[in-house]
Amino acid sequence: MIFRGRLLHPVFGVLVFAGLLLLVGGFQALDAAAALAVKPTQQASPLHPDLFLLDEDGVNVLESGKPVSTMQTCGTCHDTEFIARHSGHSQAGLDTLAPAGETSTGRPWDSSEGIFGKWDPMVYRVLSESGGAELDLGTAGWIQTVGARHVGGGPAAVSRDGTPLKDLPVRADDPETSWLDPESGQVRAWDWDQSGVVEMNCFLCHIAEPDNATRIEALQQGAFGWANTATLLATGLVERRGDSYQWNASAFSPDGTVPAGQLGIQDPVNENCGACHGLVHDQGDDPIVAISCDPSVRRTVTTGQIIGPERLSDSGMNLVGKEDLIRPWDVHAERRVECTDCHYSLNNPVYFQEAESARPEHLTFDPRRLELGEYLVQPLHDLARGPSLTDAVTPEQAGSMRRCDSCHSVESTHDWLPYKDRHLAALSCETCHVPDMYSNAARQVDWTVLRPDSFARGTCRGTGTTVGGQPVITGFQPAWMPRQEPDGTAPLTPHNLVTTWFWVAGDPAQPVRLTELEAAWFEGDEYAPEVIAAMDVNGDGELAEEELQLDTPEKVELIASRLTAAGVEAPRILGEIQPYSIHHTIATDEWAIQDCQVCHGDQSRVTQSFELAAYVPPGAEAAFVGGSTAIASGEIVASADGGLVYQPDIGSQQLYILGHNRVEWVDWLGGMLFVGVLIGIVIHGGLRVLSAMRQRGAAHEPATEPVRMYGVYERLWHWLQTLTIVALLFTGLVIHRPDVFGMFSFRGVVLVHNILAAILVVNAGLSLFYHVTSGEIRQFIPRPVGFFDQAILQAKYYLKGIFHSEPHPFEKTPGKKLNPLQQVTYFGILNVLLPLMILTGILMWGAERWPQFSALIGGLTVLGPVHSGVAWMLAAFIVGHVYLTTTGPKPLSSLQGMMFGTEEVEKGHLETQGGEA
């Protein structure tokens, strides 16, 4: 029963009328179609049939003149009820409603996880519960304010308990049927029959030129039923008449249908998404101009992300260094990857992938999927997404979006990166690939003050002034915070942090209603004289934006008392920090971070502080809002200029960054040991030189004979060991202190260090094999019997005898090359220090390959300082070792032995301890 017949005319009249209509209407339709500036119909779906626009009763709108009903119109073919039910955009958290205070955010005034009930500091007004505090936003008020960014349906059509809004009995205490008049502050009933409800607005996303501005106007005026119709204004099918709309019959076909091409029905393109989500600027001749910092313009401002293929250098924004920024705002937008290519409908047969857990191992790809036609009838409007703010709304969809590595080959593009797996585990792709934001973004929203337009005072980050005082956009570097991923990891991800200051009242706390705030700040349309007197700093009788700041206890007290006078109970200031993660505006690889020292250095970006609030109202404290996927592991500290700063703490994430993190006392002790040994040998050697000079006349020249002491292999492995250890110590020092040794390529030094370590391990291993199989190892093992006596004897020689040119206590023979002190030292070096060094080194390298083993020991946080400490000890050993080689009969005797194999050894000793002579 689609057509309800009109009045019957006489047959002749009908014929004439119909004929005229056909003639005139036909021509006019053609004219109208030609005159329309409906833009890209080549994008429009070529398959979509012409359609009737139906009202909520299923009648052609041309007949009834009523607003178009998307549920009825699109529902002719598509299962609109299914769509509206399976759409997070539409439901907006309706099915997560909970008593106030039990949501993941932890705010006592939040009642759901979605925008219907979760407080948005940029909007400020609170959705009231029934039976709760005084009414702020009822459902109607919510539609007028937050509803601008809501697609309709869900809470805009149905009450919290599922009853259609129009069927609700009107009750004074029911926020669903009450409305707070912002002008008068009075609460009155809301007549849903008169205003209509907002059905899910298919047109907003699915036509080429939706008129969002008029739609929002209709919502703000309370003409909810006309909002979806207003969206069609640019198609010429409907015209505006004052507060109402009239269908333009001449724009329809003679049979009452609308050609699908005229509506421009299409898959959503970036601009459709950008209507609410952020500044999307597709190819066009008009350059982008700066986004406003005005928090009432709620798009993009939370992160500064601009999605567009245009080059920054071609934009209309006053960016610092713009000429060199020849990169696009977003490389995916430039390469024509659309929003819906990543945020696809979850049952779209093209993109659908079954979960890894559900797929049997032997199957790499399951081709069985929904037919295209079936999909078109029942497309899920739950869209794929990563973990995000909406996690609590639809937790089952967290991580349903494909990640960067679903499309990009990380392997082939990152083989230049040492410890690649470790980097990829600790950092999200965005950390290095969105290192800088070039636009401005919100920094602080201050609702403790009011601008003349009854909105908060917003402060931006990323703006500045030139030397000449011109405003410029400097952009900013996002904060890196760990972000909880569905797979349990928490890699660092870039975020923008927005601080909000606002008044709360009562217990449980609730943000002070806007009407009460207005009562405190204004008298009539102007600021109250008392307020001006207190806030006017430069005495010009007006309050400029910079003067709107509660920066003294007196100002806070003034506003608090005025709030109390307006009926607010116990007003106080709260601060809230909301993280917004950044995933877009990626550019090509030359814009990514490739310099190791950005993180691996003293000024590491990983621990770089991030500006929070620009100022702190006296007595207020700011805390991170709950329920966010960002893990606020750092600290909020006061900054020198009176604001707040976020200081990351990476220890809580078990992040130990080579070249940045170090245990100071290990370095101090090791350094002191090294220097101590150095001083010791200088003293000892100096004394020896002095005593040699004193004894010049009566010098005791010991008789020596050449002895073949060291074979070829022994010398080879010794010198190989020497060079590799010295090089390892040096490269290790560069890695430990990259800022001091900035001339070296960090990446190259790490690689050389690892190669040398491998050579060392092989050399040591082969040498161990040699020593064991040849029996030489016996020389290194101290004999317990008489050990201490002999050790003391040797020690006495070094401390006294050597200065008197006494003979060595023990003869050095090929069968016994080491005195007890040497044996004990090498025992420690070769069995404790060197293995510790090798083990910690392998596990540090293994943090990349076998992270679980490294984690067992305590991860890099333990391994790193141990490795460094032992390195200091080895370095000190080398100094001592080299010096002690000079204690032979002549200073160079031992060195010659190790170089040439034959050594001059003293003849005729006091004692020969065991072994072969």
Shorter beta-carbon distance to another protein: residue 255 or 415: 415
Return the closest-CA partner of residue 261 out of 32, 549, 47.
Answer: 47
Rounded to the nearest whole angstrom, what is the least distance from the CB of residue 313 to another protein in the complex? 6
The DSSP code for 345 is B
| C-alpha distances out from residue 639 to 115, 255, 700, Å | 33, 70, 72
Shorter beta-carbon distance to another protein: residue 769 or 900: 900
Rounded to the nearest whole angstrom, what is the least distance from the CB of residue 422 to another protein in the complex? 17
Phi, psi of 841 (to 5 degrees): -65, -45
The DSSP code sequence of 757-806 is HHHHHHHHHHHHHHHHHHSGGGGGSPPSTTHHHHHHHHHHHHHTGGGGTP
Rounded to the nearest whole angstrom, what is the least distance from the CB of residue 546 to another protein in the complex? 38
Rounded to the nearest whole angstrom, what is the least distance from the CB of residue 747 to another protein in the complex? 8
Distance CA 842, CA 836 (A): 10
Rounded to the nearest whole angstrom, what is the least distance from the CB of residue 334 to another protein in the complex? 5
Distance CA 487, CA 502 (A): 36
Shorter beta-carbon distance to another protein: residue 319 or 520: 319
Rounded to the nearest whole angstrom, what is the least distance from the CB of residue 583 to another protein in the complex? 20
Rounded to the nearest whole angstrom, what is the least distance from the CB of residue 754 to another protein in the complex? 9
Distance CA 399, CA 342 (A): 12
Distance CA 283, CA 335 (A): 12
CB of 86 closer than 8 Å to CB of 380? yes
476 beta partners: 437
CB of 38 closer than 8 Å to CB of 208? yes
Distance CA 819, CA 237 (A): 104
Neighbouring residues of 70: CB distance < 8 A, sequence distance ≥ 6: 80, 152, 199, 200, 201, 202, 203, 228
Distance CA 438, CA 116 (A): 32
The DSSP code for 653 is G
Rounded to the nearest whole angstrom, what is the least distance from the CB of residue 43 to another protein in the complex? 5
CA atoms within 13 A on the CB side of 106: 9
Biggest CA–CA distance in the chain, Å, is: 150
Shorter beta-carbon distance to another protein: residue 333 or 630: 333
Rounded to the nearest whole angstrom, what is the least distance from the CB of residue 265 to another protein in the complex? 14
Pairing of strands 635-638, 644-647: antiparallel
The DSSP code sequence of 830-856 is IIIIHHHHHHHHHHHHHHHH-HHHHHH
Rounded to the nearest whole angstrom, what is the least distance from the CB of residue 101 to another protein in the complex? 48
Shorter beta-carbon distance to another protein: residue 655 or 749: 749
Sign, CA dihedral 161-162-163-165, equals positive
The DSSP code for 267 is S
Overall size of the chain counted in residues: 917
Shorter beta-carbon distance to another protein: residue 105 or 731: 731
Residue 640 is encoded by which pair of tokens?
């020198």
- How many other CB atoms are found less than 10 A from the CB of residue 408? 12
Rounded to the nearest whole angstrom, what is the least distance from the CB of residue 727 to another protein in the complex? 7
Shorter beta-carbon distance to another protein: residue 9 or 708: 708
Shorter beta-carbon distance to another protein: residue 326 or 533: 326
Rounded to the nearest whole angstrom, what is the least distance from the CB of residue 498 to another protein in the complex? 31
Rounded to the nearest whole angstrom, what is the least distance from the CB of residue 448 to another protein in the complex? 44
Shorter beta-carbon distance to another protein: residue 27 or 719: 719
Shorter beta-carbon distance to another protein: residue 231 or 724: 724
Q: Which residues bind another protein (CB under 8 A)?
A: 39-40, 42-43, 282-283, 309-311, 313, 326, 328, 333-336, 416, 588, 590, 712, 715-716, 719-720, 723-724, 727, 747-748, 751-752, 755-756, 758-759, 763, 899-902
Rounded to the nearest whole angstrom, what is the least distance from the CB of residue 45 to another protein in the complex? 13
Distance CA 529, CA 331 (A): 52
Shorter beta-carbon distance to another protein: residue 254 or 901: 901
Shorter beta-carbon distance to another protein: residue 117 or 308: 308
Return the closest-CA partner of residue 375 out of 343, 401, 409, 349.
Answer: 349
Rounded to the nearest whole angstrom, what is the least distance from the CB of residue 740 to another protein in the complex? 23
The DSSP code for 266 is -
- How many other CB atoms are found less than 10 A from the CB of residue 555? 18
Distance CA 81, CA 460 (A): 42
Shorter beta-carbon distance to another protein: residue 378 or 722: 722
| C-alpha distances out from residue 530 to 521, 538, 549, 606, Å | 9, 15, 15, 47
Shorter beta-carbon distance to another protein: residue 146 or 757: 757
Rounded to the nearest whole angstrom, what is the least distance from the CB of residue 312 to another protein in the complex? 10
- How many other CB atoms are found less than 10 A from the CB of residue 22? 11
Residue that is written with structure tokens 């924004």 in the block: 317
Shorter beta-carbon distance to another protein: residue 40 or 316: 40
Phi, psi of 783 (to 5 degrees): -80, 130
Shorter beta-carbon distance to another protein: residue 395 or 901: 901
Neighbouring residues of 843: CB distance < 8 A, sequence distance ≥ 6: 853, 854, 857, 863
